[in-house]
Structure 1
Amino acid sequence: MASVRSILLVAAFAGFAATAAIARADEANDYPTSARSEYVFGCMKANGETRQSIEQCSCSIDIIASLLPYDRYVTAETVLSMSQVRGNLGTQFRSSEQAKGALDDLRRAQAEAEVRCF
């Protein structure tokens, strides 16, 4: 039963990742305001809650949004969250090639944002 569920989860994730890969990143406004706000709040928490950090963190999510389609961003954020789950499910998210690809895309976009904004 667990292996069937695992296969279904991996298949669903692969389908989601494939769909997200097709999305285009040229729409700078495809990130909902709530997603941008969550990013900025988390970024500010990590970088000091100053006026300068508001500017830098806002810049950072704008750069990420210009480089990474929102669907791919959601996939990477989901992978980050699910990879912290213990057991078989978390292992699947830590070891899947699709998961690694989504994380790599996010990390490249974050690195570019770091260079441009901080």
Structure 2
Amino acid sequence: MIRKLVERGALAALALAALAVPGMAAADLENDYPTEARVDYVFGCMAANGQTRESLQRCSCSLDALASILTYDIYVQASTILSMRQGVGQRANEFKSTKIFDDKVADLRRAQAEAEIRCFRG
């Protein structure tokens, strides 16, 4: 009898863990952007869209939407590639002519477009 109770308890614990993990994973993905990166993004966005309370709300929304689509690591990789492409010379050309870098930048651009639709046009 004790064995059955233990087995039921273990099964219940496994079921609860299985339900909790997907929710936690989604929350972790949306919150993996460090505060400094979030503030930097919002300040840059506000500089481009006006220094108003409305732009603060829209830019914050934009970052939240972006974070729900891309992990911070992917965001950093794509941002770095864009930064390196602004240079001149052999290294900049390598970043401009490599397919995998094009794909990472395209992912960032799609996420930014989705964030704009959600927060600036919706």
Is this a same-fold pair by TM over 0.5?
Answer: yes
Matched ranges for 1:14-93 at <5 A:
26=26, 27-93=29-95
Which of structure 1's runs of 4+ aligned residues deviate more than 3 A?
Answer: none
Report SS of the residue matched to 2:30. coil
CA distance in 2, matches of 1:52, 1:92: 40
Residue segments in structure 1 that go unaligned for 5+ positions in a row:
1-24
Question: Larger relative CO (CA 8 A, sep 6+): 1 or 2?
Answer: 1
Letter in 2 for 1:89: R
Aligned AA for 1:67?
Answer: I
Q: State which structure, 1 or 2, has the greater radius of gyration over its C-alpha atoms.
A: 2
Calculate the aligned-residue CA RMSD, in Å.
Answer: 1.1
Distance 2:58 2:96 in 1: 30
Question: SS where residue 112 of structure 1 aligns?
Answer: helix
Calculate percent identity across the aligned residue pairs: 57
TM-score for the superposition, normalised by structure 1: 0.77
Normalised by the size of structure 2, how large is the TM-score?
Answer: 0.75
Shift of 1:61: 0.5
Aligned match of 2:16: none
Residue deviations 1:39-66, cap 9 Å, x none?
A: 1010001111111000000000000000
Partners of 1:41 and 1:98 in 2: how far apart? Answer: 29
The residue identity in structure 1 corresponding to 2:82 is: L
